[in-house]
Amino acid sequence: MRKFSICVLILNLFFITSSVKSQEDIPEADSLKINSSTFYKAVGYTAAYYAGSLFILSKTWYKDRPVVPFHFYNDTGGYLQVDKLGHIYGAYVYSYIGFQYLLNSGLTRKEALYFGSTLGLILQTPIEIMDGIHEGYGFSWGDMAANAIGSALVFGQEVLFKEQAVKYKFSYSESAYADKANGYLGKTALDRLLKDYNGHTYWLSMPVNKIVNNSVIPPWLNIAIGYGAGGMYGEFENIKNYNGVEIPAAKRYRQYFLSLDIDWTKIKTDSRILQIILNAVTFIKLPFPAIEFNSLGEVKYHWIYY
């Protein structure tokens, strides 16, 4: 998930600088008729971006990893599935951006659905293949399934609801375990963002007014269900020392959250600058009070959780 996080951040910048028309202003069409100019332009932009991303990965992520025969790696149980939720997130963001970009560029909703919402799975598959030929990694069917789920979350909602009602979001707060790991969970703030899975939380954010069928409730008010995990100093089990320093014992546990959130896409504004700002935070869970239930049997109340 770490390498995908970097790509997601880059794509988010790309997304917020693209056109920002409201979905309600875009006409629907039943026929699949490609706007060749817009479509090929989008393909060109995507190919150039992706080629550059793969080049950067080859010089950074895989830099010290020898090329080996293609092999598989079963990491489905790694990091108590937080890593898999990260893969879903990466594919979801790719697909969401692809769908919205094509939709806002003049393609019909059906065109954008077929060629945009599948982008997450399409773009992340070659990276999984690269994992399969580098020592220390491996092709993971679990990652592929997670990538497919991320794209399906965009595709399925459009088919079922004709809108992206449920948003998949991410929040991070540096965990208490990071300082005790002697650098294993990252040395800098950015490094810990990518490596400290204990601080990752992934959310499904859903509109309250549609859940309770009450039009009085503002459409931007959401309820969010989150998942995270703690006590992790390793992928499958905790390490006991790192770089010659003992790592304190910790029990691995799962966390489940209930909180509120805001769907920024439902807030209307005539300001392009404000619209860009709102688009920039589409994939980030807003800090709000939250209730935590965890596998240690505890119930915790957080005045602010992110």
Q: Mean per-residue pLDDT for 223-247?
A: 95
Closest to 85 measured CA to CA, from 182, 150, 17, 138: 150
pLDDT tens-digit profile of 52-104? Answer: 766 666 666 677 778 899 999 999 999 999 999 999 999 999 999 889 888 88
Q: In sequence order, what DSSP letters do the residues of 26-77 get, joined into one string?
A: SPP-SS----HHHHHHHHHHHHHHHHHHHHHHHHTTTTT--B-S--B---TT
For 39, phi and psi rounded to 5 degrees? -65, -50
Which one is predicted more confidently, 146 or 265? Answer: 146
- Token pair recorded at residue 288: 């709000």
pLDDT value at 25 more than 70: no
**18: pLDDT strictly greater than 50:** no
**Among 109, 100, 115, 106, which residue's Cα sits nearest to residue 28?**
109
Domain boundaries, the chain: 1-164, 165-306
Count of beta carbons in the 10 Å neighbourhood of residue 129 = 12
Q: What is the DSSP code (8-state) at residue 228?
A: E
β-strand 241-242 against 221-230: which pairing, if any?
unpaired
The per-residue pLDDT for 29 is 44
Amino acid letter for position 223: I
Total residues belonging to the chain: 306
